[in-house]
Amino acid sequence: MNPLPALVLLPIMGGGVAWVAGHVRPRVTTTSRDASWWVVLVTLIVETFVLVMATFGHPVHTGPWPGHFSMPWIPAMGIAVRLDMDGLSLSLIWLSLIMCFLCVFLATRQVTVHAGAFRFLFLATLTGIIGTFLATDLFLFFFFWELMLVPMFGLIAAWGHEDRQRAAMKFFMFTQGSGLIMLLSILGLVITHYRQTGVLTFDYFTLAHTPLSPAVSMLLMLGFFIAFAVKLPVVPVHVWLPDAHTQAPTAASVLLAGILLKTGGYGMIRFNIMLFPDAASRFAPIAMGLGVAGIVYGAWLAYAQDDVKRLIAYSSISHMGFVLLGIFTGSRMGMQGAIIQMLAHGLSTAGLFVVAGAIQDRLHTRDMRCIGGLWAAMPRLSGAGLFFAMAALGMPGLGNFTGEFLVLLATWHVSPLPAILAAVGLVLAAIYALRMVNRIFLAAPRTGLQPVPDVASRQMAVFACVMVFLVLLGVYPQPFVTFSAPLPLPVAAMTGPEGATP
Amino acid sequence: MGEILLPLIILCPLVASLVVSVSAGRMGACAIGTVACAGVGLSAVISVILSVMLLSGPATDALRVVLWPWMRIEGFSADIAFTLDRVSMVMILVVTIVGLLIHVYAAGYMRDDPGIARFFGCMTLFVAAMVVLVLASDLLCMFIGWEGVGLCSYLLIGFWYDDPANTAAARKAFYMTRMGDVALLCGLLLLATATGSLRMGTVLAAVTDGQLPPFSVNAAAALILVGALAKSAQIPFQTWLPDAMAGPTPTSALIHAATMVTAGVYLIARLHDLFAMAAPVMAFMAVLGALTLLMGACKALVQSDLKRILAWSTISQLGYMFLALGCGVWQAALFHLMTHAFFKALLFLTAGAVIMRAGHEQDIFRLGGLRHAMPGLTMAFVAGASALAGLPLVTAGFYSKEMILSGVWHVHFGLTREWGLSGHPLWGIALLGAFLTALYIFRCVFIVFCGKAGTRAVGRTSRLMSIPLGCLCVLSLSGGVIEMPDTLPRLHLFSALLDPGVPLSHADEPIWLVLAGAIVPLAGLGVAWVLWGRRVSVMREIPGQAAIIRPARDGRGMDVVYDRVFVQPLCLLVWLTRLDIADHAITGTGRLTRAASAGMFRARAGVVDMLAIRATGMARWADHLPGQFQNGRVRWYAAWIATGLCAGLAMVVLS
Amino acid sequence: MPAFSFNDTLLLATVLFSVGLAGVLVRRDLVFMLMSLDIMLNAAALVFVGAGARWHDATGQVMFVLILALAAVETAVGLAIIVCLHARGRPTLDADTGNLLRG
Amino acid sequence: MHALALLAACVTVVGAIMVITRRVAVHAVLYLVVTLLALATVLVMLGASFAAMLEVIIYAGAIMVLFVFVIMMLNLGQPDSAREKEWLHPRAWLGPGVLATIACAELLYCLNPLSGPAPAPAPITAHDVGLGLFGRYVLMVELVSYLLLAGLISAFHIGRNRVGGR
C-alpha cells in the first residue's frame, strides 16, 4: 500500500477522533491526560510507523522520486492528487513529527478548555504541513498551503494570550494575501504551458519544462517568491511573525516556528529554484541582499525586545535570513546549508519556545524585566534554556553553526561582502542571546516569588532528545546532508503527462 | 594504540563535565571535585603517555586520528580529526598538567561554594574544549574548541551571577572574543574558498606553493591575527581581561592566564608557514605586541587590585609572545607560553589563597605585611614573581624571555624594497618591558608581603591547595632549564623538540646581549626595593604622582573610550529602533488612514452645517456611507431607483 | 384613422407612469403611495394592450389580465399592512418612520 | 387623433395628477376611480374591449372598492389633512417632481422612434384573448393562481396578527 496518502490523511482523521474524544470524556483534572491527548499520541505514533515505512520501505519507482502516488482529482482541468517524496520533503516531515511529539509531551499544560477542538486543529495543521511538503500538483500544493493557515489561525485566535485576535488576523491576512499572489502565478504558469503545448495540467514535473520568456518567468517566479517570502519571514513582510508568536499558545508557536516557517523555505527550493532556475539566478543578488538584511535586522531588533517570545520570534527571523541567503547562492552547498539550518533552527527555536512557554505557565508573564534569575529556582529548565540559547547564537558543535557555516561558505564563493555582513549578524546573535540568558536565567532571582516547580524529569528527557538531535546535527551532519538533498528535476519529460488534453 | 588514546584525552573531561553537571544536586562537594580532577588527571596521564610514545618515535611523525567525516559536500570537505605532533604535544602537556593542578586547587578553593557542580561542569568542559582546540588538525574542528572555550569563559566569569557587574563582565568578554571569532571565521572562509578544505596540512601546503594570490594570503593572515588578538586581549581588545577577574580565582588562573588567552598564540604558531608568507602582517603583529607589552606593564604598575595587576601582567606577557611570533621566532613564543603558564598560574593561585585567607580583600594597599602570617604563600608568590620578572639563571622566565630577546634582536622585516624595520628598536622596547615587569611585580610583592601589617590573616591554606602550588613552584623555577641560550652550555632541547630540522642558535650572538637580559630584571628589583621596599614608602613623597596614577589606575581609560564611542550610541540606536520599523510602518499606515477618514469627516461636517437639514443628512452619509445609505425609508429607495432609471435613459439618449 | 394610434398610447402611458412615479416619490402617506403605484401599473398595462392592438396579437391582453391579478394581490397585501400598522396604534402612516431595517 | 380619444386621455392624465395632489385620502381614491374608468375608455378605443371590461369590473370595481372600504374604515381622511399639508410643502415635492419630469421627458424622447403610424383596423375580441390565455400561456395562468393564493394568505396573516398584538 502506498504510504503517502496515509501520511497525509492520518493526522486529520486522528484529529477528528480526538475532537470526539474531547467531548465524550471532558477533562477530569488538569494534570491527568484526557482521552483526546491519548488519541493524539496514538495518531502520532502510527504516523511515525507510516513514515518509517515510507523512508525505509522499497521505493515505488513509478514517479521520478522515490515516493510517488497519483490519483486523478479533476481530470478536466488536469488536476490530480499527485504526492511525491524526495529527501528534502522526507527530512522536513521527520522534523514536523519531532515537533509534534515535542508539543504533545511538553506544551499541553495550559490547554484546559475545549481540549478536543485544540487537538483537532493541531492535527489539521499537521495534515496541511505534510500535504504541502508532499504535493507536487500545483493546485494540490495551493490547497494544502491554505489548509495550513485556517487551523493555525483558529489555534492562535482561540487559545492565544491577551491580544490574540489582532495577531491572528494579522497572521492570516499576510499569509492569505500572499497565497493568492502565488495562485495567480500558478495559473499564469499553467496557462502559458497550455498555450504552448496544448496540455492543460497542474503537474509540477511537466510544468517544469515549459519554455518561458525571461520576463514571464521572472514575473511568475516573483509571484511564488512573495508568497514564500511572507511565510519564511523576509524582512519587509515579516511583521506578522512577532505578534503571532507572542500571542500564540506554546504548542501553536512551536508548530509555527518549527515547521510553518520551513514550508516557506521548502517552497523556495522546490518552486523558485527548481522551477525557474534562470529567473532565480537573475533574482539572486536581490534575494541575498534581503537575506543579509533579514539576518542583521532580525538580530538587531531581537536585542531591543523585553518580551521573551518576541525576542525568540525576531531571532528566528534572523536565522531564516541565513536560509534565504543559502538558497539563493545557487550552489548545492548553499542549498544543503540552508536545509541543515532549517532543521537546526526548527529544533532550537522549538526548544526555546517550549522553555518560554514553561516560564509563562509558571510565572504568568513573558516580560523579561519582571522574570528574575531562574537558575536558583529552576536549574533544569534554565539549563535547557541555556543550551538552546547557545544553539540559537550558533555555537559550533551544534546544528545551527553547521548550517550557518555552509551558507557563509557558499555565499563567500559568490562574493565576500554579504558573507562578512552575515558574519556580523553572528555577533549580534551572540549579543541578544546572551542578553536574554543574563536577564532570565543567570541573574539574581527576583524576591517575593513563591516557590515554582522545576521541569519534571520526564519532560527533561524529551528536552534531552532534542538536545541530542541538535548535537548530532552539529557534530555529525553528514547523514542528514545526504539524506535531505533535494533530488534534481528529471531532465526528460515526465512519463506520460498526467494532464488530460481537452 | 594511539588511535584509541587520543580521542580519550577529549572524552575524559567531557564525560566528567557531563557527569558533574547532570548530577547537579545529588553529588557532594568533594565527590564532584574528585570526579573533575579524575577526568582532567586521566587526560593528563594519557597525554604524557602519548608524548613519551611520540618522543621515542622518529622526529617528524605525528599521530593523526580521523574520528568521522564531518562535512562532505562538493567544493568543501571537513572532518573531525585530531593530530598529536610536537607542537600540539607541548601545548597539550601544558593544558592538561596545569589544568590538573588548578582543578586540584579549585577542589579545595570552591569546596564551600553552593554552585560547585556548575563550576566544575564548566571547568572540565573548558578543558575538553581547550584540548579539542589544541589537538584539532582541521581548522574548522579547531573552531569548535575556539568557541567552546569562549563559552566556558563566559559561564565562568559570570559564575557568581547574583552581581550584575559579573554577568556584564562575562558578556563583555564574550562579545569581544566573539568579534575576533567572526574575523577568524571570515579568515577560515577565505582559506576554505581558496583551498576547498580546511585541513591544516592541505591549507599550509596550498599556501606555501603559492596557490593563493598574495592579497588573499595577507587578508587571511590578518583576519586570523584579529581573531587571535581578540582571544588574547591584545591592544584593541584588551579591556575585557581585567574585568574578567570577576570570576573565581581558579578560573582566572586556568583561563585567563594559562590556556585560553594563549590559544591565539598557539594558533599562529601552528600556522607560522601561512604567516611567514605575509610579511606586513608579521611586522604589524610585532609592533602591536611591543605596544601591548609596554601598555600592559604601565597599567600593571599603577593598579591597586592584586588580581588586576596579574591580569595586566598577563596582557603584557602575551604582548611578548606576539612580539616573538611577529619576529618569526615562534618556538620562543611557545617556550615563553609554557613558562608563562607555569608562573602565572602559580601567581594567580597564590593570590587566590592570599585573598581567601585575608577575608576576600583584594586591594594590595590594605593587605600589607603578610609574610609572617603566611610564610609558605609568600615563598610561592616570590618564586612566581621572580619567574615572571625573569631573574637570571634561577627562573624559567629568564630563559624564555632571553630566547625571545635574541630572536627579536636578529629579525629584519624587509617590508618594502628600501624601508625595512630591523629588530633593534623592538628589542629595546622588550628590554624596557622586562624592566617594568620586574618593577611592578616586586612593587606588588613588597606592598603585600613586606611593609606594615594590614588586615589580619585567618586560617591556613588547606593541604589540597598547597600541593599544586608546590608543583607549580618547581615547574616555574626549573622549567626553563631545557632551553639554554648559546652562551651558556649549548642546550636546545626545547627547540630541538619542536622542529629539529632548523637549528636556532645564532653563532655570532654577542655576549652582552645575554648579560643585558640578565641585568635588567635585577635593576627592576633594585628600583622596586628602593621605592617600596623600605619602611617609609618613597613613592608617596613624589609630588604629582597622583596626577599620573589616577587616570591610569582605574584602568578604565580604553574602556571609557570604547564605552563612549561604541556602546552608548549603539544602545541609543537600539532603543530608538526598539519598535519594529516595518511593523511600525504597517500599523502606522493603518492608524493614518483611520485618522484621515475621521479628519475628512470633521472637515465635511464643518462645511455642511450651513446647508439645510438634508445637507446634514448628507454629512452623516460621509461618515458611514453604507449605513446611511440603507436608512430604511422606502421612498428614499424609490428615489434612488428613479435616479438610476434617469441615468440609464440619459445614457441611451446621449449615446 | 383609428381613434388611438400606438404613438398616442405610448405618450399617454409615459405621462401616466411619470405621474405615478412622482406620486410615489412625493407622498409620504402609505395609502397615497399605493394609489400612485396603481397608476403606474395601469400605465404599464396600457402599453401592453396598446402593443397588442398595434401588432394585432392577443398576448397584449393576456399580459393585461396578469397585471390586473398582480395589482389585486399587491393592493390586498398593501392594505393589509396599512391595517396592521394602523391597528398597532401608529399615529401616522408615514412611510419614513417604518425604517427598522436601517443599515 | 379623434376628439373622443383626446378627451379620454386628458381625463386620465388630469385624474392621475389630481390623485397625487389631493390632501384628503378619500378624494384621491375617488379621483383614482375616475382615472381608471377613463383608462377603460382608452382601452376600448384601442380595440381591446375585453380588457376594458376587465378594467372596469376588476380594477375600478373590486380593487378601488377595497381601497375606499379600507380608507373609510380607518377614517384616514380628516385629522391628517394638516399633516398632509405640511408634507406637501414645495421643498418636499420639488426634488421628486423634477426627477419625474426628467424621467418622463427621457421616456418620450426614447419612445418616439418605436411608434410607427401603422393602423390597427380589427379589434381583438375576447375570443382571441381566451385562446391565447388557455393556449400558449396556460402555465402562466397557473402561476398567477399561485400568486393570488400567496397574496391571500399573506394578507390574511398580516391582518389577523392585529388581534395577537405580536
- Of residues A323 and A442, more confidently modeled: A323
Whether A26 shows a pLDDT value over 60: the answer reads: no
Distance CA A364, CA B1 (A): 57
Averaged pLDDT for residues B504-522? 74
Per residue in A440-486, pLDDT (tens digit) is 888 888 877 677 788 888 888 889 999 999 999 988 888 888 887 77
Q: Answer for the pair A157, A238: CB distance below 8 angstroms, yes or no.
A: no
Distance CA A204, CA A440 (A): 48
Chain D residues near residue C18 by CB distance under 8 angstroms: 100-101, 103-104, 107
Q: Give SS3 for B612.
A: coil
State the ipTM, two decimals: 0.64
Whether D103 shows a pLDDT value over 60: the answer reads: yes
- Report CB contact under 8 Å: B631, C102: yes
Could you tell me if B535 and B600 lie in one domain?
A: no
Q: Does C100 touch chain B (CB under 8 A)?
A: yes
Q: Hey, CA dihedral for D28, D30, D31, D37, is it positive or negative?
A: positive
Going by beta carbons, is chain B in contact with chain A, meaning 3 or more pairs sit under 8 Å apart? yes
Q: Select from B625, B634, B653 the residue whose CB has the most chain C CBs within 10 Å, as the one to mutate to test that interface.
A: B634
Distance CA A451, CA C65 (A): 90
Per residue in A355-365, pLDDT (tens digit) is 998 888 888 88
What total of structural domains would you count in chain B?
A: 2
Q: What is the CATH number of domain C6-87?
A: 1.10.287.3510
Per residue in D30-73, pLDDT (tens digit) is 889 889 988 888 888 888 888 888 888 888 888 888 888 888 88
Whether B303 shows a pLDDT value over 60: the answer reads: yes
- Burial string for B238-271 (b: 16+ CB within 10 Å, else e) reads bbbbbbbbbbbbbbbbbbbbbbbbbbbbbbbbbb
Q: Per residue, what are the HEC states of B358-382?
A: CCCCCEHHHHCCCCCCCHHHHHHHH
Residue A494 lies in a domain: no
Which DSSP string do the residues of A73-100 spell out, in sequence order? EEGGGTEEEEEEE-HHHHHHHHHHHHHH
Distance CA B310, CA B304 (A): 11
Residue B195 lies in a domain: no
Q: Provide the mean pLDDT of chain B.
A: 82
Chains A, B: CB contacts within 8 A come to 129
Whether C100 shows a pLDDT value over 80: the answer reads: no
Q: Answer for the pair C91, B627: CB distance below 8 angstroms, yes or no.
A: no
CA-angle at B173, arms to B170 and B179, nearest 5° = 140
Q: Which residue has the cell 405621462?
A: C15
H/E run at residue A181: helix A164-197
Q: Does B175 touch chain A (CB under 8 A)?
A: yes
Option in B24, B72, B178 nearest A478 (CB): B72
- Report CB contact under 8 Å: D19, C35: yes
Q: Which chains touch B (3 or more CB pairs under 8 A)?
A: A, C, D
Averaged pLDDT for residues B476-483? 75
Q: Answer for the pair B318, B302: CB distance below 8 angstroms, yes or no.
A: no
Dihedral (C-alpha) A206, A208, A210, A211: value to the nearest 10 degrees? -150
Assigned C-alpha cell, D143: 402561476
- Report CB contact under 8 Å: B70, A420: no
Q: Give SS3 for B449.
A: helix
Whether B547 shows a pLDDT value over 80: the answer reads: no
Distance CA A366, CA B489 (A): 70
Q: Give SS3 for C79.
A: helix
Whether B252 shows a pLDDT value over 80: the answer reads: yes
Per residue in A239-262, pLDDT (tens digit) is 888 888 888 888 888 888 888 899
Q: Which chains touch C (3 or more CB pairs under 8 A)?
A: B, D
What total of structural domains would you count in chain A?
A: 1
Whether B486 shows a pLDDT value over 70: the answer reads: no
Distance CA B184, CA B220 (A): 8
Nearest CA in chain D to C79: D70
Q: Select from B152, B161, B572 the residue whose CB has the most chain A CBs within 10 Å, as the one to mutate to test that interface.
A: B161
CA-angle at A201, arms to A198 and A202, nearest 5° = 145
- Residue B167's contacts (CB-CB under 8 Å, 6 or more residues apart) are A438, A442, A443, B158, B161
Which DSSP string do the residues of A92-139 spell out, in sequence order? HHHHHHHHHHHHHHHS-TT--TTHHHHHHHHHHHHHHHHHHHHB-BHH
Per residue in A52-110, pLDDT (tens digit) is 888 887 655 555 677 778 888 888 888 888 888 888 888 999 999 999 998 888 876 66
- Of residues B98 and A450, more confidently modeled: B98
Assigned C-alpha cell, B647: 441615468
Partner A, chain B 50-79, Cβ-Cβ below 8 Å: 68-76
CA-based nearest distance B636→chain C, Å: 8
Per residue in B304-355, pLDDT (tens digit) is 888 889 999 999 999 999 999 988 888 888 888 888 998 999 999 999 888 8
Percent of chain A with pLDDT over 90: 31
| D61 burial via Cβ count (<10 Å: 0-12, 13-18, 19+) | middle
Residue A331 lies in a domain: yes
Q: Provide the mean pLDDT of chain A.
A: 85
How high is the pLDDT of residue B150? 92
Query: Which range has the top average pLDDT, A423-427, A452-456, D162-166?
Result: A423-427
How high is the pLDDT of residue B358? 83
Chain D residues near residue C51 by CB distance under 8 angstroms: none
Averaged pLDDT for residues B601-605? 64
Overall residue count recorded for chain A in this entry: 502
Q: Using pLDDT thresholds of 50, 70 and 90, give the confidence band for residue B43.
A: very high
Per residue in A183-217, pLDDT (tens digit) is 999 999 999 988 888 888 888 888 888 888 889 99
CA-based nearest distance C3→chain B, Å: 30
- Report CB contact under 8 Å: C10, D111: yes
Could you tell me if B514 and B388 lie in one domain?
A: yes
Q: How many CB atoms lie within 10 A of CB B176?
A: 23
Q: Select from B635, B641, B649 the residue whose CB has the most chain C CBs within 10 Å, as the one to mutate to test that interface.
A: B635
Residue A496 lies in a domain: no
Averaged pLDDT for residues C61-79? 90
Could you tell me if B416 and B339 lie in one domain?
A: yes
Residue B279 lies in a domain: no
Q: Give SS3 for B421.
A: strand
Whether B361 shows a pLDDT value over 90: the answer reads: no
CA-based nearest distance B584→chain D, Å: 49
Chain D residues near residue B639 by CB distance under 8 angstroms: 95-96, 99
Assigned C-alpha cell, B518: 640578565
Beta bridge partners of B69: B79
Chain-centre distance of CA C11, in angstroms? Answer: 17
Residue A497 lies in a domain: no
Chain D residues near residue B646 by CB distance under 8 angstroms: 99, 102-103, 106
Q: Using pLDDT thresholds of 50, 70 and 90, give the confidence band for residue B54.
A: confident
Residue A489 lies in a domain: no
Q: Which chains touch D (3 or more CB pairs under 8 A)?
A: B, C
How high is the pLDDT of residue A1? 64
Q: Using pLDDT thresholds of 50, 70 and 90, give the confidence band for residue D6.
A: confident
Q: Identify the domain containing residue A392 by its residue range.
A: 3-483
Residue B272 lies in a domain: no
Nearest to B430 by CA among B342, B325, B341, B317: B317
Chain A residues near residue B11 by CB distance under 8 angstroms: none
Q: Identify the domain containing residue B455 by its residue range.
A: 290-302+309-541
Whether A405 shows a pLDDT value over 70: the answer reads: yes
- Residue D90's contacts (CB-CB under 8 Å, 6 or more residues apart) are none
How high is the pLDDT of residue A496? 37
Distance CA B466, CA A319 (A): 50
Per residue in B412-431, pLDDT (tens digit) is 776 665 666 677 888 888 98
Residue B183 lies in a domain: no
Q: How many CB atoms lie within 10 A of CB D142?
A: 10
How high is the pLDDT of residue A494? 36
- Report CB contact under 8 Å: B630, C24: no
- Of residues A110 and C57, more confidently modeled: C57
Distance CA A413, CA A232 (A): 24
Q: Does D48 touch chain C (CB under 8 A)?
A: yes
Which DSSP string do the residues of B211-238 spell out, in sequence order? -S-HHHHHHHHHHHHHHHHHHTT-GGGT
Q: Answer for the pair C20, C40: CB distance below 8 angstroms, yes or no.
A: yes
Residue A364, sorted as left (phi over 0), alpha (psi -120 to 50) or beta, turns out to be left
Q: Does D43 touch chain C (CB under 8 A)?
A: yes
- Of residues A456 and A292, more confidently modeled: A292
How high is the pLDDT of residue A97? 92
Distance CA B282, CA B286 (A): 6
Whether A493 shows a pLDDT value over 50: the answer reads: no
Q: Answer for the pair A500, A76: CB distance below 8 angstroms, yes or no.
A: yes
- Residue C9's contacts (CB-CB under 8 Å, 6 or more residues apart) are C46, C47, C49, C50, C53, C54, D42, D46
- Report CB contact under 8 Å: B652, D110: yes
- Report CB contact under 8 Å: C42, D107: no
Residue A164 lies in a domain: yes
Distance CA B386, CA B391 (A): 6
Query: Which range has the top average pLDDT, A22-31, B456-465, B603-612?
Result: B456-465
Whether B628 shows a pLDDT value over 60: the answer reads: no
Could you tell me if B316 and B433 lie in one domain?
A: yes
Distance CA A272, CA A268 (A): 5
Q: Answer for the pair A241, A170: CB distance below 8 angstroms, yes or no.
A: no
Nearest to C17 by CA among C59, C47, C54: C47
Residue D79, sorted as left (phi over 0), alpha (psi -120 to 50) or beta, turns out to be alpha
* Per-domain residue ranges of chain C: 6-87
Mean pLDDT is lowest, of A128-132, A246-250, B276-280, D83-87, for D83-87
Q: Using pLDDT thresholds of 50, 70 and 90, give the confidence band for residue C9.
A: confident
How high is the pLDDT of residue A317? 92
Q: Does B625 touch chain C (CB under 8 A)?
A: no
Averaged pLDDT for residues B73-81? 84
Q: What is the CA radius of gyration of chain D?
A: 20
